[in-house]
Amino acid sequence: LCGAALGLAGTVLQQVLRNPLASPETVGVSAGAYLALALATLLSPSLLAFGREWVALGGAFVALAAVIALSWHKGLSPLSVVLAGLVVSLYAGAIGAALIVLRHEWLASLFIWGAGSLGQQDWSTTLWLLPRIGTAALAIFFIVRPLTLLGLDDEGARSLGVPLGAYRFAGLAAAVALIAFVVAAVGVIGFVGLAAATLARIGGARRLGQQ
């Protein structure tokens, strides 16, 4: 379930950003969600009572906003987005690691969890994830046609009547939500989002709907 969510999120990120290297890790979203959870655990545990997914979602959106801001002056070119994402990911990871070292007694459990934990003793995590991932995936299903047109250049998409800003934001929001839900549930799982979309294309799935 988590692999499917990350694969879908990576595919949407690559389509919206027109960047075959975009993934939850290379755009810094996973690291941002993880850092937000670490900060909330350390500084304001009461925030987690409202739902870990909301804390992770906030951190993921902040990380994505930082990546867009850093790469904006380069026109959100594929290389600039990836480089900015790696910078954000490295900084967020470094801050998270420093917090774990300095506050080990509070954040010890996050050390292993930060590398992803697929241990499953019951179905509670699956039942928690299923409706959230299902809702985000359903939202992507309903906008898959306009998202497909985002693969064109901006002028081509506009000539077909596609409101670029609205659908780009909707696609990013759904992808970030998928990533945040997975990070909140099982931690940071690396490179699934990047590999899944690439393997789908190698297997002959060229259109977004097929992927």
Following DSSP, what letter does each residue of the chain receive, concatenated? -HHHHHHHHHHHHHHHHT-TT--TTTTTHHHHHHHHHHHHHHH-GGGGGG-HHHHHHHHHHHHHHHHHHHHGGGTT-HHHHHHHHHHHHHHHHHHHHHHHHHTHHHHHHHHHHTT-----SSSHHHHHHHHHHHHHHHHHHHTHHHHHHTTS-HHHHHHTT--HHHHHHHHHHHHHHHHHHHHHHH----SHHHHHHHHHHHTT--STTT-
The pLDDT value recorded for residue 186 is: 80
The domain over range 2-202 is classified in CATH as 1.10.3470.10: yes
Residue 211 pLDDT: 57
Structure confidence at residue 103 (pLDDT): 76
What is the model's pLDDT at position 207?
Answer: 65
Residues of the chain falling short of pLDDT 50: none
pTM, full prediction: 0.80
Per-residue pLDDT at 138: 92
